């Protein structure tokens, strides 16, 4: 039976909501990731960051509700002895239903210079009694100040501090002397049983008000159930003819007052255990003869208060832990779960980092998990020595630098981060380290968006973040003395995540998206697969085997014809006999004369790390920040590190009709001594008009028995054009474009190579094109007088299907005029690509332009406008409404009678104070609502009958429900 307490006061109990240290670190993580997402335009990163922010807000609501769910009281022990610990009792009750989550509660107070605390887990709808040990340093009175119960949300991000009614000051008895001599025996005359009685425990003598320290067995609980007041049964016994007379003077030989009081305390204790009546005489005070617990406590209380009362000593300084003694091991189950969640967060890096790094991380995490298991010998695996971890970190730095050539940038930086996080897991010793490990796992998860933001990346991020949040839940629950509570940490984490989704979705749509980064840092370590700065035989053939998407093009109108789908990229003007390279040719800007209709389209470019942009014909309207070079090549000063949406307008144009002579001369250069047969063939055409020279070169390719193949024979380092034209006669687009340019330069026509992409597969619905890396293509531009730079594609002469039907058809049927219709498997792939395109447009590629278009479409205007602000405030209020209702909703008790009593408090709009008995509440409610005093008293009496009656049942509950309904509801 629980120890009784004095009735709780009706004063309001303050509750203060504040983030914990973990909550502040969690918020700091959100701020850091948000800044990174803004700078690198990581759209999925925005989503996960806003989800974490929503979890942070929802956790505050759960903490508020948890604080309202707790009923707590702190009881003083019956007595305390100096030099020991006074075991205060915290009585905790969860007023919520049994299906809800439990509560993590920390009870703490201040006692002198110390702050004792105890952390416990209160199951849903249950009660718990916890022991709060408080050092009782010196005799006197022990007073607890600022007692409070701290309730945490499931993740431990927020805490609600609730003040507890402080218990009465506790008298601290002197420590009894060890091996104290027997007290002197003195006869105390008595008048017999009829004339004198003393305190004892034999016969009932009446009831008196309850005093702290009275035994629970002496409390009249039946009287307390009827009236709500605590009364103690008094008993006595006949006085004997002789008793002990304990006198201060008998301890004079000890000298020191504290030693004298210690001896008297030992004598009182001996008499108490033997049941011997005794009296106590101290200077200035005396206690008559008596016996029993109450008499002994009264005597010890006089000894505790004997002046002068010594000051409480300062708490001893904690002894430093020996260096060789490791800290106590963490509980194995939550640590293994945290390591598993961390392994899931690190898993995608195995696809792109060196194999040895993956093996090292797996080994470190596996060993850390194995250390949590206790072997049959009750011994754990030894912790790795810090020097060994330092050596592993140093070796990893050296090997990473050797593998990537740097420790900066995206690839090397993320690999280094994974190594350091794994080593941090190996040296995790405390709960603080384990929680930090979970936060680092969240940060690692967001770094994967540097490499991809597809649906699989989003699914992995949700899984990883959910597991890491569940790990925080596992560390919030204190280690119980009994087995772990029967609940999974996944359930609270999933509930918080689902409740945070509306707020995260709203912020994802409405949060301003800047068009430019905050600062410039390299995130690319090497060029992605795609067009290079130079072209040599075999480059485009290797690209042709890569079906990765280079970009998608969404057109405002109908798709252009296949013959118009030349996506212009880098221009190669320098030739050394082996390769074509880009150069900056000085001179005046050439002329540009556009004509024909305007073509509007938007490109969703995959990251390539290259500055050039791809455009049809000649772009007349470029994205912000882009420019057109004198070679009519669209470039950007800031290559995108992630998928980027860019809008273009293009028109057909006459390029360079007025061209700088220096550029034209440069476009005629051929290395001396290279490919003499090709040079001689070109020279033989110099007498022809320029257009006929072009036709002569095309006719040579058309009639020369050339074939289009991805696997041409290897060409020599010298005279490779001669070897191709007059020997192998098999090649890919770069072979034909290079040989054709050499022939025309030898024929006296300025010629250059243009790299880019040709074609594109229509997507499902026919409103966009899918351009893959295998569509990479090279063609030539020939300068003709009066016409400027004219596009000539020699590959189209050998394999017309390359222009009309695409690469796959050109390799099997070079003369085909159209691509075959897609089969069932291809249609399914196109359907998936359509979903991928929508994902890229509205999720992974949702940027400032998409946001402005969406706001304009729904009539909210621009970001920062009045419509945007009003609608955003309204939607934000709607998104936060469930969270607000969660915070304000009062928990319902699990017991039916207690739930009806709670209904009474709701009808009166007068909540019960923590620890307040129903009788005290009835008196307070009657004072506030005197017109309903009788109805309130009847309802409380019905509650006592339904809760504490001899045989409570359904009839008592119905009577209680009827009595509660008779109380008028307050407006």
Q: Which residues pair with 158 in a beta bridge?
A: 19
Judge contact between 132 and 107, C-beta under 8 A: yes
Instruction: Give the pairing of strands 244-247 and 278-282.
Output: parallel
Classify strands 117-122 and 84-94 as parallel, antiparallel or unpaired.
unpaired
Q: Residue 385's CB: how many other CB atoms inside 10 A?
A: 10
Please pick, among 214, 719, 793, 833, the residue that the annotation labels catalytic. 793
Q: What is the DSSP letter of 726?
A: I
* Closest to 410 in 3D by CA, of 644, 642, 604: 642
Residues 82 and 175: their CA atoms lie apart, in Å, by 5
Whether 735 and 545 have beta carbons less than 8 Å apart is answered as no
777 in active site: yes
Q: What does the alpha-carbon distance between residue 657 and residue 668 come to, in Å, rounded to a whole number?
A: 17
Interhelix angle 490-510/43-69, nearest 10 degrees: 130
The Cα–Cα gap between 870 and 865 comes to 9
From 62, 460, 777, 944, active-site residue: 777
Strand 707-708 and strand 730-731: pairing?
parallel
Which residue is it, tokens 């005197």? 930
In contact, 656 and 788? CB cutoff 8 Å: yes
- Report cis status (omega within 30 of 0) of the bond before 296: no
Q: For the residues of 822-863, what is the DSSP string, one character each?
A: P-HHHHHHHHHHHHHHHHIIIIIT--HHHHHHHHHHTT--ST
What is the rounded CA–CA span in Å between residue 802 and residue 810?
5
Q: Is the Cα torsion angle 525, 531, 537, 538 positive or negative in sign?
A: positive
**What's the full length of the chain, in residues?**
971
Instruction: Give the burial class of 377: count Cβ atoms within 10 A of its Cβ; 0-12 exposed, 13-18 middle, 19 or more buried.
Output: exposed
Spatial separation of the C-alpha atoms in residues 601 and 559, rounded to whole Å: 10
Distance (Å, rounded) from C-alpha 808 to C-alpha 826?
13
- Hey, which residues does 602 pair with through a beta bridge? 554, 647
Instruction: Tell me the C-alpha to C-alpha distance, in Å, between residue 483 and each of 104, 435, 478, 610.
Output: 16, 22, 11, 59
Q: How far apart are CA 89 and CA 78, in angstroms?
A: 11
Helix runs in 760-844, H state only:
795-798, 801-804, 807-812, 824-839
Per the annotation, the verdict on 733 as an active-site residue is yes
> Exposure string (b/e) for 386-423, b if CB count within 10 Å is 16 or more?
eeebeebeeebeebbeeebeeeebbbbbbbbbbbebbb
Query: Can you tell me the distance from the alpha carbon of 655 to that of 789, in angstroms, rounded to the nearest whole number?
Result: 5
Query: Which of 214, 733, 833, 902 is flagged as catalytic?
Result: 733
Cβ-contact 18, 161 below 8 angstroms: yes
| 37: nearest Cα among 447, 497, 456, 468 | 447
Distance of CA 207 to the CA centre of its chain: 60
- Chain centroid to CA 401: how far? 30
Phi–psi pair at 51, nearest 5 degrees: -65, -45
Over its C-alpha atoms, the chain yields an Rg (Å, rounded) of 43
* Torsion sign across C-alpha atoms 837, 839, 845, 851: positive
37 catalytic, yes or no? Answer: no
State the helix-helix crossing angle for 933-948 and 896-908, rounded to 10 degrees: 170
Residues with catalytic function: 733, 777, 793
């Amino acid at each position: 039976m629980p120890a009784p307490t004095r009735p709780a006061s009706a004063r309001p109990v303050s509750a203060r909501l504040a983030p914990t240290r973990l909550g502040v670190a969690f918020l700091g993580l959100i701020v850091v990731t948000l800044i990174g997402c803004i700078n690198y335009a990581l759209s999925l990163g925005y989503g996960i960051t806003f989800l974490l922010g929503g979890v942070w807000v929802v956790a505050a609501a759960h903490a508020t509700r948890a604080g309202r769910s707790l009923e707590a009281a702190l009881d003083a022990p019956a007595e305390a002895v100096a030099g020991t610990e006074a075991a205060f009792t915290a009585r905790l009750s969860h007023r919520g239903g049994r299906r809800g989550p439990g509560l993590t509660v920390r009870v703490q107070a201040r006692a002198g210079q110390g702050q004792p605390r105890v952390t416990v887990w209160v199951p849903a709808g249950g009660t718990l009694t916890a022991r709060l040990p408080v050092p009782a340093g010196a005799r006197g009175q022990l007073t607890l100040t600022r007692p409070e119960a701290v309730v945490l949300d499931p993740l431990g991000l927020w805490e609600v501090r609730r003040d507890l009614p402080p218990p009465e000051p506790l008298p601290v008895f002197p420590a009894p002397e060890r091996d104290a001599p027997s007290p002197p025996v003195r006869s105390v005359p008595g008048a017999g049983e009829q004339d004198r009685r003393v305190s004892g425990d034999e016969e009932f003598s009446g009831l008196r008000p309850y005093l702290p320290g009275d035994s629970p067995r002496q409390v009249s609980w039946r009287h307390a159930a009827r009236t709500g007041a605590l009364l103690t049964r008094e008993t006595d016994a006949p006085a004997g003819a002789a008793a002990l007379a304990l006198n201060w003077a008998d301890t004079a030989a000890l000298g020191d007052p504290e030693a004298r009081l210690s001896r008297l305390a030992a004598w009182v204790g001996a008499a108490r255990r033997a049941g011997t009546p005794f009296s106590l005489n101290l200077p200035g005070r005396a206690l008559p003869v008596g016996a029993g617990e109450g008499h002994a406590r009264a005597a010890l209380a006089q000894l505790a208060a004997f002046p002068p009362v010594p000051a409480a000593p300062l708490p001893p300084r904690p002894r430093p832990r020996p260096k060789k003694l490791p800290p106590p091991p963490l509980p194995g189950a939550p640590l293994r779960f945290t390591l598993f969640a961390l392994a899931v967060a690190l898993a995608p890096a195995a696809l792109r980092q060196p194999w040895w790094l993956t093996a090292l991380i797996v080994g470190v995490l596996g060993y850390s998990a194995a250390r949590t298991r206790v072997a049959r010998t009750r011994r754990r695996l030894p912790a790795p020595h810090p020097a060994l971890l330092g050596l592993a970190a140093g070796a990893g730095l050296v090997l990473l630098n050797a593998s990537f050539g740097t420790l900066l940038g995206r690839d090397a930086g993320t690999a280094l981060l994974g190594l350091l996080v794994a080593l941090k897991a190996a040296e995790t010793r405390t709960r603080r380290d384990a929680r930090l490990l979970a936060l680092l796992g969240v940060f690692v998860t967001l770094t994967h968006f540097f490499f991809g933001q597809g649906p699989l990346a989003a699914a992995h991020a949700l899984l990883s973040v959910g597991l890491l949040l569940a790990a925080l839940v596992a560390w919030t629950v204190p280690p119980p003395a009994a087995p772990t509570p029967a609940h999974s940490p996944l359930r609270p984490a999933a509930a918080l995540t689902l409740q945070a989704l509306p707020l995260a979705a709203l912020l994802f749509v409405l949060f301003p998206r800047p068009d430019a980064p905050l600062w410039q840092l390299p995130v690319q370590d090497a060029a992605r697969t795609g067009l290079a700065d130079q072209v040599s035989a075999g480059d485009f053939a290797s690209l042709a085997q890569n079906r990765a998407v280079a970009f998608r093009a969404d057109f405002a109108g109908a798709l252009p014809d296949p013959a118009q789908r030349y996506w212009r990229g880098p221009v190669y003007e320098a030739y050394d006999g082996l390769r074509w390279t880009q150069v900056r040719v000085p001179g005046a800007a050439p002329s540009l004369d556009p004509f024909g209709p305007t073509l509007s389209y938007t490109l969703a470019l995959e990251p390539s790390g290259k500055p050039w942009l791809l455009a049809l014909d000649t772009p007349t309207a470029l994205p912000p920040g882009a420019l057109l070079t004198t070679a009519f090549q669209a470039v950007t000063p800031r290559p995108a590190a992630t998928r980027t949406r860019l809008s273009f307008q293009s028109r057909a144009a006459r390029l360079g009709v007025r061209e700088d002579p220096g550029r034209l001369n440069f476009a005629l250069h051929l290395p001396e001594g290279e490919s003499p047969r090709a040079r001689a063939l070109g020279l033989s055409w110099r007498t022809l008009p320029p257009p006929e020279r072009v036709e002569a070169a095309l006719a040579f390719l058309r009639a020369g028995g050339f074939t289009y193949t991805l696997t041409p024979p290897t060409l020599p380092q010298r005279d490779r054009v001669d070897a191709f034209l007059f020997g192998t006669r098999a090649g890919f687009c770069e072979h034909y474009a290079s040989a054709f340019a050499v022939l025309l330069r030898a024929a006296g026509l300025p010629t250059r190579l243009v790299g880019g992409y040709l074609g594109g597969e229509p997507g499902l619905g026919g409103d966009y094109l899918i351009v893959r890396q295998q569509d990479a293509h090279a063609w030539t531009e020939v300068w003709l007088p009066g016409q400027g730079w004219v596009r000539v594609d020699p590959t189209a002469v050998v394999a017309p299907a390359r222009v009309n039907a695409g690469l796959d058809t050109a390799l099997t049927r070079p003369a085909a005029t159209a691509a075959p219709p897609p089969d069932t498997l291809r249609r399914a792939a196109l359907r998936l690509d359509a979903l991928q395109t929508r994902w890229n447009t509205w999720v992974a590629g949702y940027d400032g332009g998409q946001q402005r278009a969406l706001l304009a479409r729904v009539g909210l205007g621009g970001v920062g406008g009045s419509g945007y602000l009003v609608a955003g405030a309204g939607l934000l209020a709607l998104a936060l409404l469930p969270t607000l209702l969660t915070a304000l909703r009062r928990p319902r008790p699990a017991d039916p009678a207690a739930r009806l009593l709670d209904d009474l408090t709701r009808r009166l709009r007068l909540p019960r104070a923590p620890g307040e008995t129903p009788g005290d509440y009835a008196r307070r409610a009657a004072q506030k609502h005197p017109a309903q005093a009788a109805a309130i008293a009847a309802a409380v009496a019905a509650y006592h009958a339904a809760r504490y009656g001899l045989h409570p049942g359904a009839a008592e509950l119905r009577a209680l429900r009827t009595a509660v309904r008779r109380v008028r509801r307050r407006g």
